[in-house]
């Protein structure tokens, strides 16, 4: 339990550091330069690929994924997990809106390669990706018997987190610091869910996530 508590607290601290950092002109300048630095690889095929992939961090794709995985957890009689997954997603979306309206950072002042609106910090797609795909590792992996399939599922979810995060500055709709903040906030959500699971199953199943 102490490990998940440490991850949650560390994520919150790093997020707050980023909140302060993005107010600094030097950080803003570096953010602008990092977005521009991707121009050499912004070819038409790459833009088309990341424009499609980024949707896997959007609600219109994640809601069906969450619904299917929740049904799977119910089928496996993992009742607490089947509640935590959709509840965490709804809570995370609400939290992202609150944080964006608190910080009110504008999006990069470059031509966006996909349609986006609203504030920029923290990235909703990055926060979505860590929260949902992170929980899919936490809740689904223990139900997979094959060691290779466990590795594949974990690698797939981690790849989605990283690629979705990279897609946002690539498409010029977020700064890299927005992505890091989204990752931190999402990690705090996953750690909080892990703590809830452990508390539910104490003391008899302390080490088991269900």
Q: Catalytic positions, please?
A: 125, 174
The number of CA neighbours under 13 Å toward the Cβ of 93 is: 12
Contact assessment for residue 4 and residue 191, using Cβ atoms and an 8 Å cutoff: yes
Alpha-carbon span 97 to 3, nearest angstrom: 28
Q: CB of 206 within 8 A of CB of 199?
A: no
Q: At what angle do helices 124-140 and 79-103 cross, to 10 degrees?
A: 160
- 81 Cβ partners below 8 Å, 6+ apart? 73, 139, 197, 209, 210
User: What token pair was written down for 28?
Assistant: 């803003």
Please report, to the nearest 10 degrees, the dihedral formed by the alpha carbons of residues 10, 15, 19, 25 taken in order: 90
Nearest to 32 by CA among 175, 184, 193: 175
């Amino acid at each position: 339990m102490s490990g998940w508590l440490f991850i949650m607290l560390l994520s919150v601290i790093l997020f707050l550091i980023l909140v302060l950092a993005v107010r600094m002109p030097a950080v803003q300048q570096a953010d602008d330069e990092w977005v521009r630095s991707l121009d050499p690889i912004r070819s038409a095929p790459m833009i088309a690929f990341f424009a499609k992939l980024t949707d896997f961090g959007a609600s219109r794709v994640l809601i069906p994924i969450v619904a299917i995985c929740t049904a799977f957890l119910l089928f496996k009689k993992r009742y607490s997990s089947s509640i935590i997954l959709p509840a965490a997603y709804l809570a995370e979306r609400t939290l992202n809106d609150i944080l964006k309206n608190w910080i009110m950072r504008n999006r990069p002042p470059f031509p966006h390669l996909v349609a986006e609106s609203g504030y920029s910090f923290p990235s909703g797609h990055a926060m979505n990706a860590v929260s949902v795909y992170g929980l899919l590792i936490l809740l689904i992996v223990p139900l997979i018997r094959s060691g290779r399939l466990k590795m594949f599922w974990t690698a797939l979810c981690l790849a989605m987190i990283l690629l979705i995060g990279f897609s946002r500055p690539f498409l010029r709709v977020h700064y890299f610091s927005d992505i890091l903040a989204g990752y931190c906030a999402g990690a705090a959500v996953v750690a909080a869910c892990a703590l809830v699971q452990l508390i539910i199953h104490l003391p008899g199943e302390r080490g088991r996530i269900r």
